[in-house]
Amino acid sequence: MAKLIAGNWKMNGLMASSHALASGLAEKVKAKPDRADVAICPQGPLIKDALAAVSGSPISVGGQDCHASESGAHTGDTSAALLADLGCSCVIVGHSERRADHGETSEQVKSKAEAALKAGLVAIVCVGETEAERDAGQTETVVGQQIDGSLPEGGTPQTVVIAYEPVWAIGTGRTPSLEEIGAVHAFVRSRAQESQGLGDGLRILYGGSVKPGNAADILAIPGVDGALVGGASLTVGDFWGIIENCP
């Protein structure tokens, strides 16, 4: 199975810079399309332009969040149906920044993931422990509860991706050891199997300070099927450096 390298642009980029980033990346991927499956997730208003910029390349475009409802009175939210209609193929749900900044619960994340599936999108469901939780030896408890609570009903390894992102590794330049990442990924797979029968063939991404310099080692860990990349997805050189380092 090819690795999946997904760029989470977060709340970064304006029209010109985002267009340049997406089209620069498209040129690289078109030249070497077999390195990995590549996706980018820009801010909502940039999606249409990003889709145009990557057209003719195998890069997928996704959203960073969606609402659980199909439509209605939800000011400021975006429906999964609209993301799909625009041409997106995936959406991130339950990122730790949404769980922290918007108080999203696993129950809400599950509803969002189910809305994504209903709209025909792949749901990239994020889980991960805080530093205090890791220090207290609660990583498996916390991540296990997030998996049980957040995975959609009726998902398959083709429609659900899990991103394991330790909160303390996001944007900090710190990462767990390779052994620690491998251990949590093995735990995530077995729990996803128990919880929703999703272990075999499920793609589990690692996220948190993935850079060109550590990508080869992280992506070579058994059970790591790709990466969800924040900061290093914001330049063509860094993001391509990660894609090129896929084993």
Q: Which residues bind ligand PGA (CB under 6 A)?
A: 8, 165, 170-171, 207-210, 228-232
Question: Residue 112 and residue 108: Cα distance in Å, rounded?
Answer: 6
Shortest reach from residue 170's CB to ligand PGA, in Å: 4
Name the one residue in this structure whose structure tokens are 């050189």. Answer: 237
- Is the Cβ of residue 81 or residue 98 nearer to ligand PGA in the bound state? 98
- Is the Cβ of residue 152 or residue 208 nearer to ligand PGA in the bound state? 208
- Is the Cβ of residue 232 or residue 246 nearer to ligand PGA in the bound state? 232
Tokens of 146: 């997030």
- Find how far residue 57's CA is from the centre of its chain: 20
Closest CA to 149 of 93, 203, 205, 102: 93
Shortest reach from residue 154's CB to ligand PGA, in Å: 25
Name the one residue in this structure whose structure tokens are 């889980």. Answer: 127
- Is the Cβ of residue 17 or residue 71 nearer to ligand PGA in the bound state? 17
Active site residue 165: yes
Contact (Cβ atoms closer than 8 angstroms) between residue 242 and residue 227: yes
| Residues pairing with 67 in the sheet | 79
Question: Residue 237 and residue 76: Cα distance in Å, rounded?
Answer: 33
Shortest reach from residue 88's CB to ligand PGA, in Å: 17
Tokens of 163: 């991103």
Active site residue 179: no
DSSP 123-138: EEEEE---HHHHHTT-
Active site residue: 97, 114, 133, 165, which one?
A: 165
Closest CA to 113 of 86, 74, 146: 146
Shortest reach from residue 207's CB to ligand PGA, in Å: 4
Active site residue: 95, 97, 114, 185, which one?
A: 95
| Catalytic positions | 95, 165
